[in-house]
Structure 1
Amino acid sequence: MFWYDHGMGGWGWVAMSFSMVLLVALAVAAAVLLLRSGDRFPGGPMQPPAAPSAKQVLAERFARGEIDEEEYEQRLTTLRAHEPGQGRPGREQS
């Protein structure tokens, strides 16, 4: 009944090693798939809210009454003059 002297032969060690590698690979694949499927659930993945633009902050301050209309228009004009691609006032673009 116990012809192999209770020991594991060379192929037994190979099969056991291969099975362990396969088991770990399956566990990692399952974890990755579970984490990547987060956007399919209600609410989606947790992402920080986008920072408001300078114009949005200025409009909110005006809406709350922190600044008057004259200051709002002045600051808005300044923001528009410094928009990306506009360059700095008084300097030539190269």
Structure 2
Amino acid sequence: MGNGGWSGWMWVWGAAMVLLWVAVVGAAAWLITRAAASRRVDSPDPRATGMERARAILAERYARGEIGTDEYDERLAKLR
């Protein structure tokens, strides 16, 4: 025990623990970044007003073909 208790393969376990914690911190940072990015893409603009969001939904429905041109124009006019 003259070398401070780090005899044999003990240094391998110390290095493995350091690598484990680096991996845990890296995975946590990656997950947080992905969650923030997906929230940014899926959610509407937080600064958008209710009317802007209503127009965006109406435009999406028109683009998907759920409503026709006449109905789109009529509803858009009501939103103005």
TM-score (normalizing by structure 1) = 0.37
Higher helix share: 2
Structure with higher RCO (Cα < 8 A, 6+ apart): 2
Q: Computing the radius of gyration over CA atoms, which structure comes out larger, 1 or 2?
A: 1
